[in-house]
Amino acid sequence: MGKVSPEHLDALCELDNITLGAAAVRLEKSSGIQVKMIKPKAEEFSMGEAINKIPAEEKVGIVLAYTGDYGGEMAFIFSKSDISVLTDALIAQGKADNFDSAMMFIGQEIAEGINESLAMLISRSNLSCSAQAVLEERPPFEDDVVFIEIQLKLNGGQVDSRFWHLVPVELGNKLASDMLGELDAQLEQFEKRAKQEKQEKKEKKEEERQQKTEEDELIPDIMVEVAVRLANKKMVFQDLWDINPGDVIEFPQYVSQPVELVYKQKVIAMAQVVVVGERFGVRITEVKDYAKGISS
pLDDT value at position 218? Answer: 57
* Same domain, residue pair 34 and 122: yes
User: Is the pLDDT at 41 greater than 70, yes or no?
Assistant: yes
Worst-scoring range by mean pLDDT, 126-130, 155-159, 210-214? 210-214
* Same domain, residue pair 171 and 125: yes
User: Is the pLDDT at 166 greater than 60, yes or no?
Assistant: yes
Domain containing 292 — which CATH number?
A: 2.30.330.10
pLDDT in tens, 70-91: 778 999 999 999 999 999 999 9
Confirm whether 215 is domain-assigned.
no
Confirm whether 216 is domain-assigned.
no
* Same domain, residue pair 142 and 60: yes
User: Is the pLDDT at 93 greater than 90, yes or no?
Assistant: yes
**Which of helix, strand or coil describes residue 222?**
coil
Tell me the pLDDT band of 133, cut-offs 50, 70 and 90: very high
User: Is the pLDDT at 194 greater than 60, yes or no?
Assistant: yes
- Alpha carbons 92 and 90: distance in angstroms, whole number: 5
User: Is the pLDDT at 148 greater than 90, yes or no?
Assistant: yes
User: Is the pLDDT at 92 greater than 90, yes or no?
Assistant: yes
pTM: predicted TM-score of the whole model, two decimal places: 0.60
Confirm whether 202 is domain-assigned.
no
At residue 271, what is the residue type? A
Q: Which domain holds residue 92?
A: 6-187
* Same domain, residue pair 172 and 255: no
**Which of helix, strand or coil describes residue 245?**
coil
Confirm whether 198 is domain-assigned.
no
* Same domain, residue pair 169 and 227: no
Tell me the pLDDT band of 23, cut-offs 50, 70 and 90: very high
pLDDT value at position 296? Answer: 44
Mean pLDDT, the chain, rounded, equals 84
Confirm whether 144 is domain-assigned.
yes
| The domain boundary residue, chosen from 165, 187, 209 | 187
The stretch 203-227 carries a mean pLDDT of: 73
pLDDT value at position 198? Answer: 78
Strand spans (E) along 155-277: 159-168, 227-229, 259-263, 266-276
User: 48 near 123, Cβ under 8 Å?
Assistant: no
| The domain boundary residue, chosen from 162, 187, 212 | 187
User: 179 near 11, Cβ under 8 Å?
Assistant: yes
pLDDT value at position 189? Answer: 63
pLDDT value at position 197? Answer: 76
User: Is the pLDDT at 221 greater than 90, yes or no?
Assistant: no
pLDDT value at position 71? Answer: 79
User: 186 near 22, Cβ under 8 Å?
Assistant: no
Confirm whether 205 is domain-assigned.
no
* Same domain, residue pair 162 and 247: no
* Same domain, residue pair 140 and 23: yes
Closest by CA to 74, choosing from 136, 4, 146, 154, is: 146
pLDDT in tens, 265-289: 888 899 988 888 888 888 899 988 7
- Alpha carbons 64 and 149: distance in angstroms, whole number: 17
Domain containing 112 — which CATH number?
A: 3.40.1550.10
What's phi and psi for 29, nearest 5 deg? -70, -40
pLDDT in tens, 103-127: 999 999 999 998 888 877 777 667 7
* Same domain, residue pair 89 and 233: no
* Same domain, residue pair 180 and 237: no
The stretch 245-252 carries a mean pLDDT of: 84
Confirm whether 178 is domain-assigned.
yes
| The domain boundary residue, chosen from 163, 187, 211 | 187
Q: How many folded domains does the chain comprise?
A: 2
Confirm whether 56 is domain-assigned.
yes
- Provide the percentage of residues in the chain whose pLDDT is more than 90: 29
User: 280 near 271, Cβ under 8 Å?
Assistant: no
User: Is the pLDDT at 205 greater than 70, yes or no?
Assistant: yes
- Alpha carbons 161 and 125: distance in angstroms, whole number: 33
pLDDT value at position 145? Answer: 92
User: 65 near 130, Cβ under 8 Å?
Assistant: yes
The stretch 33-54 carries a mean pLDDT of: 89
